[in-house]
Amino acid sequence: MKYEAHDYQKYATKFILEHPISAILLDMGLGKSVITLTAVNDLLFDSFEIHKVLVIAPLRVARDTWPAELEKWEHLHGLIYSVAVGTEVQRKAALLQKADIFIINRENIEWLVEKSGLPFDYDMVVVDELSSFKSYQAKRFRSLMKVRPFVKRIAGLTGTPSSNGLMDLWAEFRLLDMGKRLGRFITHFRSDYFVPDKRNQQIVFSYKPKLGAEDAIYRLVSDITISMKSTDYLKMPEYVINEIPVRLSEKEMECYQILKDDLILSLDGQDIDAANAVGLSNKLTQMANGAVYGEDNNVIAIHDRKLDALEDLIEAANGKPVLVAYWFKHDLSRIEERLHKRHISFSKLDTADSIKRWNNGELPVALVHPASAGHGLNLQAGGSTLIWFGLTWSLELYQQTNARLWRQGQEADTVVIHHLIAKDTIDEKIMMALKKKDKTQSALIDAVKADLKI
């Protein structure tokens, strides 16, 4: 396909070319991959500034999206690439190929740097989903930092740089510029721009920015950063958020209330207990979805309210493809059981073949986990309806999963995002937190604290 770049894409490509260090904060659907690959192509074959590029991405994005982009656009057909995923033998074989671009999943960065025995001789690194390097304690971050001084050029791509707050930015920019702008130490960054927020005596649960800190941080990184929103540059389809209420019976709500109040519930001869606020949130979310893990991870069914609502929505779609987001494993197994019983064709989106079948319109229902398909996958060709069976506190995963359908290339006039909300349960608080774009962990703690009357 011939690449007809939008003006904003030309601008972003030029920015990468002119900045050896760049943070490309483009909204979902703006074409971060082709923008970056166009710049890489120029750097390899026009200016000859680089000779070997490493692309780091989430697994399915590394395996499916980047190769698909390289194959899709005519002007990139001269680029030779190798995808280093799979077993250690397969990864090593891929990395020993003669290629211009090597694509690896982020989980294998530690292996590549510390254990592979291969030289790290890449003069440009592209980090797709820079936000996945927001933890300075993570092994992938520490490993990449060891070889960062040897890299001449680096580009970080993401649509959600600080979904959990400004604190995320430190590690991301530390990786990019080695601490030049936001400092070399997280403790200094924290003390300069934040004050303790929620705390229990000496234990600080969260921090909040000092007055003017947000502007100051953005100003410090502005010289190597560009940020664009899709709604400013693309004619996007209408985006409809729909909440489908489901009501638990009096007996089901009584079970829910007992666990919420007492942190323990005896059900079907098994004890279900929640040790802390996070554990309670998990258990209550499971119960709202219709099942809960008991002793030894046995699944105890509570209700089928969401399954019934899901079946109604699929029937109402009348053959129109539907993407269903689930959270817990027992959500998946119960959904699969219901679809089998109703003879509804479906597939999990966990392989290249299943993603291809979805985009070809061959799947009436596709099941996806936000953590595995939240970033980078292009699913807009397969449908325009998403149903959240179970919700997540993660604003980043929520936004990114929605953006699999609501993005450039979506041909439908309207994208509909349904949410199955169990009334008078934690579902309502999660939905409210997502609407307010609260910080994930602090919103969770606030919600459960209120429930426990702490």
What residues are paired with 91 via a beta bridge? none
| Opening angle at CA 141, ends 223 and 69, nearest 5 | 70
Report, as an integer, the average pLDDT of 202-228. Answer: 84
Position 300 scores a pLDDT of 85
For residue 221, pLDDT beyond 60: yes
Report, as an integer, the average pLDDT of 218-245. Answer: 80
CB atoms within 10 A of CB 57: 25
Question: May I ask the CATH architecture of the domain 238-248+305-452?
Answer: 3-Layer(aba) Sandwich (3.40)
What residues are paired with 243 via a beta bridge? 419
For residue 327, pLDDT beyond 50: yes
For residue 162, pLDDT beyond 80: no
In this predicted model, what pLDDT tens digit does every residue of 74-87 receive, in sequence order? 999 999 999 999 99
Query: Per-residue confidence at 373, pLDDT binned at 50, 70, 90?
Result: low
Query: Per-residue confidence at 411, pLDDT binned at 50, 70, 90?
Result: confident
Residues in the chain, how many? 454
More confident residue, 164 or 149: 149
| Cα separation values, 333 from 230, 341, 374, 392, Å | 36, 12, 20, 18
In this predicted model, what pLDDT tens digit does every residue of 171-206 receive, in sequence order? 999 999 999 999 999 999 999 998 887 777 777 777
What residues are paired with 301 via a beta bridge? 291
Give the whole-angstrom CA distance, residue 373 versus residue 419. Answer: 18
pTM over cut 0.85: no
Position 154 scores a pLDDT of 97
Task: Return the CATH superfamily for domain 7-233.
Answer: Tandem AAA-ATPase domain (3.40.50.10810)
In this predicted model, what pLDDT tens digit does every residue of 19-56 receive, in sequence order? 999 998 887 667 889 999 999 999 999 999 999 999 99
What are the residue ranges of CATH 3.40.50.10810 in the chain?
7-233
Closest Cα to residue 35, out of 12, 2, 62? 12
Position 48 scores a pLDDT of 94
For residue 356, pLDDT beyond 60: yes
Give the whole-angstrom CA distance, residue 139 versus residue 156. Answer: 18
Position 450 scores a pLDDT of 27
3-state secondary structure of 157: strand
Report, as an integer, the average pLDDT of 270-285. Answer: 68
What are the residue ranges of CATH 3.40.50.300 in the chain?
238-248+305-452
Query: Per-residue confidence at 230, pLDDT binned at 50, 70, 90?
Result: low
For residue 360, pLDDT beyond 50: yes
Position 4 scores a pLDDT of 87
Query: Per-residue confidence at 446, pLDDT binned at 50, 70, 90?
Result: very low
Query: Per-residue confidence at 297, pLDDT binned at 50, 70, 90?
Result: confident
In the chain, the amino acid numbered 377 is L
In this predicted model, what pLDDT tens digit does every residue of 237-246 receive, in sequence order? 777 888 888 8
* Most confident among 193-202, 265-274, 359-368 (mean pLDDT): 359-368
